[in-house]
Amino acid sequence: MKFKGDKRYNNYSTYIKSTFGERVQKISINIGFSCPNRDGTKGVGGCTYCNISSYTPLYCKPKRSVTQQLEEGISFFSTKYKSQKYLAYFQSYTNTYAELDLVKSFYLEAVNHPDVIGLVIGTRPDCVSLELLSFLEDLAKIYYISLEFGVESTLDKSLIATNRCHSYQETIDAYKMSKGRGFALGAHLIIGLPGETREEMLNHAVEVSKLPINMLKLHQLQIVKGTKMAKQIVETPDMFELFEAEEYIEFVTNFISLLRPDIILERFISESPPNMLIAPKWGGIKNFEFVAKVDKRLKEKDFWQGKYFN
């Protein structure tokens, strides 16, 4: 099977270029919302693996307005790339978890920036409503809109163990509500959660392929400081079976072969700051280096996206 570009899978950069005809950069925005498993609505403490500081840029602070964060992000990236447009990426915590009018005001402030051509919104499957989706559907008639759900696992046992406080059925229901509204649907998966076998992890590819998603981000489980897992790995280290880099490369190539062939793969790995990362430590391998290793291994195995998709 042939894919655009020189990859053996649908890759995100090719998708962006074919969609917009130019380079487009995401600018992360933090609007300071919480999560229902943090504020007591469904639970407290948040997800056991989560420390927002491990993936939030320095300019991305909720005390700054959306416009200020956009300006600082654009100032940073414009020195590297002279001509481009931007997507406002509402990344930290649950970016639909507030009164609807407040949520709308932040999104409208972002798209009113002259260099912003759309939104990427990260949220939980249990934190969207028909009213919000209808609003985004209207926006999608003018702007590019991508809605990303933190799926994390297709297994309820893992969602319970990591204090997600929602079920996989709620994930399925959220995608059913969201499909066909004119915006791209994304999913995040964490590979290597405690208690999941390699076979169960590979089966995530089968299950998410049933969802009406356009794109997928994979993240290897990382243990970072300031999380519940940081305590667990000291107190009960046997509950973790973290991937070594070469093991994960092999896993990813197998995963890709099982995945629905039209899904766009945006990421394979997480990159937490070295000063926050407890494990696994892969010697500072960067995303582009890991991608090159995956590409090489796919060719060696003669694998491609969807080779074993049924």
Q: Which domains does the chain have, with CATH numbers?
A: 12-301 (3.20.20.70)
Q: pLDDT tens across 178-215, in order?
A: 999 999 999 999 999 999 999 999 999 999 999 999 99
Q: Give Cα 27 distance to the centre of its chain.
A: 14
Q: How confident is the model at residue 264 (pLDDT cuts 50, 70, 90)?
A: very high
The predicted structure's pLDDT at residue 275: 93
| DSSP string covering 268-287 | S-----TTTEEE---SS--H
What's the pLDDT at 83? 64
Q: With 70 as the cut, is the pLDDT of residue 59 above it? A: no
3-state secondary structure at position 166:
coil
Instruction: Tell me the torsion sign for CA atoms 56, 59, 65, 67.
Output: negative
Separation of alpha carbons 234 and 223, rounded Å: 11
Decide if 185 contacts 212 (C-beta within 8 A): yes
Check residue 80 and give its pLDDT. 79
Q: In this predicted structure, what is the pLDDT of residue 79?
A: 83
User: E strand or H helix at 86, and its extent?
Assistant: strand 85-90
Instruction: Give the helix/strand (H/E) hosting 228.
Output: helix 228-235
Higher pLDDT, 203 or 1: 203
pLDDT reported for residue 187: 98
Distance CA 195, CA 220 (A): 14
Residue 1 tokens, joined:
């099977």
3-class secondary-structure state, position 216 = strand
What is the residue type of 78?
Answer: S
Spatial separation of the C-alpha atoms in residues 230 and 219, rounded to whole Å: 17
| pLDDT score of 310 more than 60 | yes
Residue 52 has pLDDT above 80, yes or no: no
Spatial CB neighbours of 161, under 8 Å, sequence gap ≥ 6:
48, 193, 194, 195
Tell me: the pLDDT tens digits for 70-98?
999 999 888 877 768 999 999 988 899 89
CA distance linking residue 106 with residue 90, whole number of Å: 9
Q: Which two tokens stand for residue 242?
A: 């973290």
Going by pLDDT thresholds of 50, 70 and 90, the confidence category of residue 6 is: confident
Least confident piece of the model among 180-189, 276-285, 294-303? 276-285
Which tens digits make up the pLDDT trace of 211-259?
Answer: 999 999 999 999 999 999 999 999 999 999 999 999 999 999 999 999 9
DSSP 257: H
User: Is the alpha carbon torsion for 214, 168, 148, 199 positive or negative?
Assistant: negative
If you average pLDDT over every residue of the chain, what do you get? 93
At CA 11, angle to CA 9 and CA 16, rounded to 5? 150
Residue with tokens 């969602």: 159
Q: Residue 63 has what pLDDT? A: 77
The percentage of the chain sitting over the pLDDT mark of 90, rounded to a whole number, equals 84
Residue 33 structure tokens:
């919302």
